[in-house]
């Protein structure tokens, strides 16, 4: 039993958490620990402390978060900042109290300033103003990074804890949210083009001008990045990071315009009509491209192309939503 890893995945039903669970479950040395929201409220400090203590956890993957697109972030800013702050503070502190040595916190590329130089390096954090549409969510995620760094600085050497952070670019794939109201761009477009094809519509309306460029990483590649980072030798990681800038970017390595992305999804789904861009709707930042050189230099690279990933995502949509 001593060779077993007891790994708690917070947010195992979310897109990233479920991908991490799929990957870790393939190793028989891992015992995966999860809890449904009905059984464990991560915003409740007492419940989280008791759960992590009772489960005798060795490692934590903190993938739990309240997430959504531009519309959701605009409509529910208080929920986004409060829930995310509570979740990460409770899980990180409970992990420390219960002698968990390894924790990986999942952030978001929206932590970086709106006008950060592109591609965005880890050093850009806290160097400028955030994008207003998702500032509350970004502030919470920045706090999560700084929680990990602060616990490492204060308790790392004394107690041997090692809390790490990874910042994914825009993710898509199985487990994504295909809601019409608050989904991200890839699942939103998959659903719109699918329904337009099904209803024999002549056009699909896409928010914004189509000009902004984005980077997209398939979620199973992100899961591999998470496990890779969490299992890296500390001395190797320390060579490329510092105690006040310890997070790592995880991106695909190239970007695509929303216009070109729309064409790819249109073709994969087989929609024959026109694409209309609604310029009255917000674009968000013109670019958001992560510099993933540090993670690449450490030995991780993505494996799934955008076209392959979108085909897999559409197959998942057809199986679960169509």
Higher pLDDT, 294 or 179: 294
The domain total for the chain is 1
Between 182 and 227, the more confident residue is 227
Which of 204, 180, 217 has its CA nearest to residue 72? 180
Residue range 124-135: mean pLDDT, rounded = 94
Any domain includes 317: no
Q: At what angle do helices 45-54 and 77-97 cross, to 10 degrees?
A: 40
At how many degrees (to 10) do helices 135-159 and 77-97 cross?
10
CA distance 283 to 262: 14
- pLDDT tens-digit profile of 57-66? 999 999 999 8
Interval 180-186 mean pLDDT: 78
pLDDT bin (cut points 50, 70, 90) of residue 1 is very low
Measured distance CA(301)–CA(119) in Å, rounded: 17
Q: Is the pLDDT of residue 136 over 50?
A: yes
Instruction: Calculate the average pLDDT of the chain.
Output: 95
Span 59-86, average pLDDT: 90
109 part of a folded domain: yes
176: left (phi over 0), alpha (psi -120 to 50) or beta: beta
Selected residue with higher pLDDT from 72 and 198: 198
pLDDT at residue 141 is higher than 90: yes
pLDDT for residue 182: 66
Taking 60 as the threshold, does the pLDDT of residue 2 lie above it?
no
Q: Is residue 144 part of a domain?
A: yes
CA distance 85 to 79: 10
Tell me the C-alpha distance between 56 and 89, whole Å.
19
According to DSSP, the residues that pair with 287 across neighbouring strands are 213
The residue ranges of DSSP E strands in the chain, in sequence order, are 5-10, 30-33, 59-62, 102-106, 162-168, 170-172, 203-207, 213-214, 216-218, 248-250, 256-257, 274-278, 287-288
Higher-pLDDT residue of 272, 184: 272
Confidence of residue 183 (pLDDT cuts 50, 70, 90): confident
What are the residues facing 33 on neighbouring strands?
8
285 belongs to a structural domain: no
The percent of residues above 70 in pLDDT, for the chain, comes to 98
Q: Give me the catalytic one of 8, 137, 151, 218.
A: 137
Tokens 């189509």 map to which residue?
210
Q: Check pLDDT > 80 for residue 284.
A: no
190 falls within a domain = no
Q: How far apart, in whole angstroms, are the C-alpha atoms of residue 170 and residue 168? A: 7
Q: Judge whether residue 181 has pLDDT over 80.
A: no
State mean pLDDT over 307-311.
Answer: 98
How many Cα neighbours within 13 Å face the side chain of 23? 18
Q: CA–CA separation, 202 vs 188, rounded Å? A: 18
Q: Are 227 and 24 in contact (CB under 8 A)?
A: yes
Structural contact between residues 262 and 185, judged by C-beta atoms closer than 8 angstroms: no
**pLDDT of the residue at 74:** 82
Closest CA to 200 of 110, 296, 285, 271: 271
Q: Does residue 287 or residue 244 have the better pLDDT?
A: 244
Residue 77 lies in a domain: yes
Chain segment 236-247, per-residue pLDDT in tens: 999 999 999 999
Residue with the larger pLDDT of the pair 295 and 74: 295
Annotated catalytic residue 137? yes
**Among the listed residues 31, 314, 41, the one whose alpha carbon sits nearest the alpha carbon of residue 197:** 314
193 part of a folded domain: no
Which residues form the domain of 86? 5-176+216-252+290-304
Q: Is residue 123 part of a domain?
A: yes
The string of pLDDT tens digits covering residues 31-61 is 999 999 999 999 999 999 999 999 999 999 9
Residue 164 belongs to domain with CATH number:
3.40.50.720
């Amino acid at each position: 039993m001593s060779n077993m890893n007891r790994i708690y995945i917070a947010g195992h039903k979310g897109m990233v958490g479920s991908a991490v669970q799929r990957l870790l479950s393939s190793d028989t040395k891992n015992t995966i620990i999860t809890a449904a929201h009905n059984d464990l409220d991560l915003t409740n400090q007492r419940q989280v402390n008791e759960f992590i203590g009772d489960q005798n956890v060795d490692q934590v993957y903190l993938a739990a978060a309240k997430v959504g697109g531009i519309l959701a972030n605009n409509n529910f800013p208080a929920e986004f900042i409060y829930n995310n702050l509570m979740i990460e503070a409770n899980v990180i502190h409970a992990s420390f109290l219960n002698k968990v040595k390894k924790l990986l916190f999942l952030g978001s590329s929206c932590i970086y300033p709106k006008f950060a130089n592109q591609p965005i390096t880890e050093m850009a954090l806290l160097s400028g103003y955030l994008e207003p549409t998702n500032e509350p969510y970004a502030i919470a995620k920045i706090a999560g990074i700084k929680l990990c760094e602060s616990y490492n600085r204060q308790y790392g050497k004394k107690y041997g804890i090692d809390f790490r952070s990874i910042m994914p670019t825009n993710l898509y794939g199985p487990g994504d949210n295909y809601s019409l109201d608050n989904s991200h761009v890839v699942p939103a477009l998959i659903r719109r083009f699918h329904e337009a094809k099904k209803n024999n519509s002549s056009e699909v309306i896409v928010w914004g001008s189509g000009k902004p460029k984005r980077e997209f990483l398939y979620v199973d590649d992100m899961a591999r990045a998470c496990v890779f980072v969490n299992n890296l030798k500390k001395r190797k990681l320390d060579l490329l990071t510092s105690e006040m800038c310890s997070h790592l970017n995880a991106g695909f390595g190239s970007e695509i315009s929303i216009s070109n992305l729309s064409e790819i999804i249109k073709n994969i789904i087989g929609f024959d009509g026109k694409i209309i861009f609604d310029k009255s709707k917000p674009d968000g930042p013109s670019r958001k491209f992560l510099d993933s050189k540090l993670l690449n230099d450490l030995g991780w690279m993505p494996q799934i192309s955008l076209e392959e990933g979108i085909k897999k995502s559409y197959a998942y949509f057809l199986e679960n939503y169509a």
